[in-house]
Structure 1
Amino acid sequence: MDWNEVVRALSAALGIGLLIGAVRERAHVDGSSVAGVRTHALLALLGAIAYGFGTAAYVAVLLAVALLAHAAYVRTRDQDPGLTGEVAMLLTVALAGLTRESPSLAAGLGVVVAVLLWAKDPLRRLSRELISEREMKDGLLLAAAALVVLPLLPDVPLDPWGVLQPAMLWRIVVLVLAVGMVGHVALRAVGARRGLPVAGFFSGFASSTAAVASYGRLARDQPRLATEAAAAALLSNLASVLLLAAVIGAVSPGFLRTAAWPLGGAAIGLLLVAATGLHRTRGDSPAAEAPQARAFRLSHAIGIALPIAAVMLAAEALRRSFGDAGALIGATVAALAELQAAGATIARLAEIGGLPHAQARWGVAGLLAASALTKLVLAFASGGARYGRITGGGLVLMVVLAAAGAWLAPA
């Protein structure tokens, strides 16, 4: 027996019991809780010790605690009909047993359990007030698309060129759905001024193209939020530029130092216009109207994924026909739909010597211009003139400063 592992497991179990018990104790400041700090600490130690004696002893302890929890529920159900306290007792014993196998995993799960126990009121408000029945159905659709359909789709390409992978294309659909859900819930939770910029930035790590379309639809549905929606769309593109830098760095760290000039210029341009838009709305930003009943539309997401597939096929055809020059053209074409994939192509060419760094640097600026062109058209089509002008202005400044960075970068 390794006593160091035993002591570590018992310490983790005691910590879990104290943490869960403290949360339960504070939830019932009137003293009505049947299991507080001491009880949960003792249950955790009991579970960890029983696990060391074998499966039979551990199961016997679990059954005994279950009987205690049942007795406690019978005694307190008139005052507190919930089962949270009783379930927490069983979880404490279960996690204590897990400490004998993986103390770090058990401790992490213990923190998760404690957070869930503490977040009773915020979770209740989220489920009862912030999320409507229609939004709940949309959330279930999103969960089914991500957790049921996506794992069943193959990663094997369907075409002879190895471009169209069903799982990859469906991931785009899922990302578009998620963007719509995040922005919708954020708007409901904290309002347009704070919710849209935050949701916009983080949605850009999934798909800035989808974000431009989604926030364009919001601007069309609620014209008074056009400025805030445009700022959110530009912040999503800022996140996309940051992600592009990470992708280039992963493929070719040496080229990233050269590409940092156009990428930095692009980021500055987007941030300037987004910040200016948000500053102009400060103090007189209109109150957000009730969002549309639907958080997203599946047809809208599929309508974005299908053109991406077509552009990827066209880019691969150009690469096979014209070699590295064709690959550069194909990457620029691909940037119309997927900036990160196109950036990885440029970085790979720079890494293997197919393109000098100076040309590859201008290639990055070209990718940003191609991506901006697609989003500019999409902004006007989805959000109308005002949204399109603000978003387009930021995208144009992004391209101009990216070109300036490529020009000023040291050789």
Structure 2
Amino acid sequence: MDWNQAIHGLLTALGIGLLIGAVRERQHGGRTSLQAGVRTHALAALLGAAGLMLGQAVFVVALLAVAALAWTSYRVTSREDPGLTGEIALLITVLLGGLGMQQQALAAALGVVVAILLWAKAPLARLSREVISDQEVRDALLLAACALVVLPMLPDRAVDPWGVLVPSKLWQIVVLVMGVGMLGHIALRAVGARWGLPVAGFFSGFASSTAAVAGFGRGSRAAPGLVMPSVAAALLANLASLLLFAAVIGTSSPTLLKAAAWPLAAAALVLLLCSALGLRHVADEAVPQGPAAKAFQLKHALLIALVIAVVLLLSEGLRQLFGQAGALAGATIAALGELHAAAASIAGLTASGGLELAQARWGVVALLASASLAKSVLAFASGGGRYGAGVAFGLGAMVAAAVVVTWVVPG
């Protein structure tokens, strides 16, 4: 290790120790039980850096010595302060001091993270004890298990003879439905119903507008005061899905995107206006502020994935029976469950010359109509009559605008 690198490493370690020590001093400086403040943490960081310079064995001895001192300190202060945060922070300071001799940027970043965690003691305690309910913790653990445990174990290849049913893809739908429910729940708790649900709805639409319609519908059924913001959230999710729909078409067939640009723009404008109408007379004060009983329903997510699997099998069967015409019909049917896959199919047929441009323009409208029909039915099933009527009106107006512009404006 050259002299320049050693200087930078020692300065990094010193800065980390001073930062962590300053936070500990500010939070506990008035207590007689504070055993490690600014100077102690700075020295501990330099001890870790110097120990690593002298060799790994010396560093391990230094770390064990600090651990012994921390244990002695804990025995003295355990009656007044039974927590282990201070002792753990001291050990981390030694480790980061050693890391600063090898990777200054990483050590500094981790030092900042440690300082933030130490400073945020009161907000984190309030979050875990008062803000987050037991049900929300269970929902978060279930979502994490489905996404991080179950999903990696599923095969990523088709398990049916036609190659359309991929277990990992279908389970991703389940995770998305659950994630949308959790996202809407968090947004509602964070900024209120008027803006929280619509913001969550728009961004969740890039993942799955179908999941968003179902998730927000279930939430509106549980809390009738959330019906109008939930309708707006569902329509904004479909707006995001429409933008992604246009991007998929443009990727496979820029010519088709150019020909369908005006109908798609009209559809997007109508969705935006309808969602704004849904928010016009909603006030946060009229909405219950307590958390919903559950952020999502696992059985509901499983049902949606099952429906999509059936639609995919039906679409593939029609394609094999009736060729290109069947493929167009199959794509329209597939849009009942997956709009973007159907969009890629239509655009691919247009790009390869298997479908005329004029027919493809109307095919785009047919996909929107098919998807809107499926989502409207899903809205009634998940959210009841009022929610379903609001979503169906917005989606119907979107399709009507696309039809009129396609009819009036030549491609």
TM-score, normalising length: structure 1:
0.85
Structure 1 CA distance for aligned equivalents of residues 222 and 18 of structure 2: 50
Q: Name the counterpart of 1:217.
A: 218
Change in Cα spacing, 1:275 to 1:48, as seen in structure 2 (3 Å) is: farther
SS in 2 for 1:67: helix
Tell me the amino acid that sits aligned with residue 387 of structure 1.
Y
Change in Cα spacing, 1:256 to 1:115, as seen in structure 2 (3 Å) is: farther
Tell me the amino acid that sits aligned with residue 126 of structure 1.
L
Change in Cα spacing, 1:409 to 1:93, as seen in structure 2 (3 Å) is: farther
Structure 1 CA distance for aligned equivalents of residues 211 and 299 of structure 2: 13
Change in Cα spacing, 1:245 to 1:87, as seen in structure 2 (3 Å) is: farther
SS in 1 for 2:66: helix
Q: Name the counterpart of 2:28.
A: 28
Change in Cα spacing, 1:281 to 1:71, as seen in structure 2 (3 Å) is: same
Change in Cα spacing, 1:301 to 1:57, as seen in structure 2 (3 Å) is: same
Structure 2 CA distance for aligned equivalents of residues 259 and 13 of structure 1: 59
Unaligned 5+ residue runs, structure 2?
A: none
Unaligned 5+ residue runs, structure 1?
A: none
Structure 1 CA distance for aligned equivalents of residues 9 and 358 of structure 2: 57
Q: Name the counterpart of 1:368.
A: 368
Structure 1 CA distance for aligned equivalents of residues 13 and 360 of structure 2: 55
Q: Name the counterpart of 1:132.
A: 133
Structure 2 CA distance for aligned equivalents of residues 320 and 406 of structure 1: 30
Change in Cα spacing, 1:249 to 1:223, as seen in structure 2 (3 Å) is: same
Alignment of 1:81-160 (within 5 A): 81-99=82-100, 102-160=103-161
Structure 1 CA distance for aligned equivalents of residues 100 and 31 of structure 2: 30
CA-to-aligned-CA distance 1:180-233 (integer Å, 9 cap, x gap): 223234334443223322332333233221221222122222222211111121
CA-to-aligned-CA distance 1:317-369 (integer Å, 9 cap, x gap): 23334444433332222221122322333344445454456654543333222
CA-to-aligned-CA distance 1:55-78 (integer Å, 9 cap, x gap): 323322322332233233334333
- Displacement of 1:143: 1.8
Q: Name the counterpart of 1:169.
A: 170
Any conservation in 2 of the 1:48–1:100 contact (CA below 8 Å)? yes
Change in Cα spacing, 1:95 to 1:219, as seen in structure 2 (3 Å) is: same
Q: Name the counterpart of 1:200.
A: 201
Larger radius of gyration: 2
CA-to-aligned-CA distance 1:118-168 (integer Å, 9 cap, x gap): 333333233222322233222222222122111111112111222111111
Any conservation in 2 of the 1:130–1:188 contact (CA below 8 Å)? no
Structure 2 CA distance for aligned equivalents of residues 376 and 220 of structure 1: 15
TM-score, normalising length: structure 2:
0.85
Any conservation in 2 of the 1:191–1:288 contact (CA below 8 Å)? no
Q: Name the counterpart of 1:182.
A: 183
Structure 2 CA distance for aligned equivalents of residues 250 and 90 of structure 1: 53
Change in Cα spacing, 1:384 to 1:34, as seen in structure 2 (3 Å) is: same
- Displacement of 1:170: 1.2
- 1:393 has 2:399 as partner: no
CA-to-aligned-CA distance 1:239-261 (integer Å, 9 cap, x gap): 32333345445556676555554
- Displacement of 1:106: 4.3
Structure 2 CA distance for aligned equivalents of residues 78 and 309 of structure 1: 60
Structure 1 CA distance for aligned equivalents of residues 49 and 323 of structure 2: 63
Any conservation in 2 of the 1:193–1:285 contact (CA below 8 Å)? no
Structure 2 CA distance for aligned equivalents of residues 388 and 409 of structure 1: 31
Structure 2 CA distance for aligned equivalents of residues 384 and 363 of structure 1: 30
More divergent stretch after superposition (172-181 vs 117-126): 117-126
Change in Cα spacing, 1:364 to 1:127, as seen in structure 2 (3 Å) is: farther
Structure 1 CA distance for aligned equivalents of residues 173 and 247 of structure 2: 19
Any conservation in 2 of the 1:343–1:367 contact (CA below 8 Å)? yes
Any conservation in 1 of the 2:18–2:39 contact (CA below 8 Å)? yes
Q: Name the counterpart of 2:340.
A: 340
CA-to-aligned-CA distance 1:30-75 (integer Å, 9 cap, x gap): 3765444554444444434433444323322322332233233334
Q: Name the counterpart of 1:379.
A: 379
More divergent stretch after superposition (296-305 vs 284-293): 284-293
Any conservation in 2 of the 1:258–1:409 contact (CA below 8 Å)? no
- Displacement of 1:396: 1.9
Structure 2 CA distance for aligned equivalents of residues 112 and 65 of structure 1: 21
* RMSD over equivalenced CA pairs, Å: 3.3
Q: What's the % identity of the aligned pairs?
A: 61
- 1:296 has 2:304 as partner: no
Tell me the amino acid that sits aligned with residue 146 of structure 2.
A
Structure 2 CA distance for aligned equivalents of residues 263 and 16 of structure 1: 54
Structure 2 CA distance for aligned equivalents of residues 4 and 409 of structure 1: 69
Tell me the amino acid that sits aligned with residue 159 of structure 2.
L
More divergent stretch after superposition (248-257 vs 112-121): 248-257
Change in Cα spacing, 1:237 to 1:14, as seen in structure 2 (3 Å) is: farther
More divergent stretch after superposition (63-72 vs 7-16): 7-16
Tell me the amino acid that sits aligned with residue 221 of structure 1.
A
Structure 2 CA distance for aligned equivalents of residues 99 and 292 of structure 1: 46
Structure 2 CA distance for aligned equivalents of residues 358 and 107 of structure 1: 60
SS in 2 for 1:183: helix
Q: Name the counterpart of 1:51.
A: 52
Q: Name the counterpart of 1:327.
A: 327
Any conservation in 2 of the 1:131–1:185 contact (CA below 8 Å)? no
Structure 2 CA distance for aligned equivalents of residues 15 and 263 of structure 1: 55
Structure 2 CA distance for aligned equivalents of residues 346 and 3 of structure 1: 64
Structure 2 CA distance for aligned equivalents of residues 30 and 303 of structure 1: 57
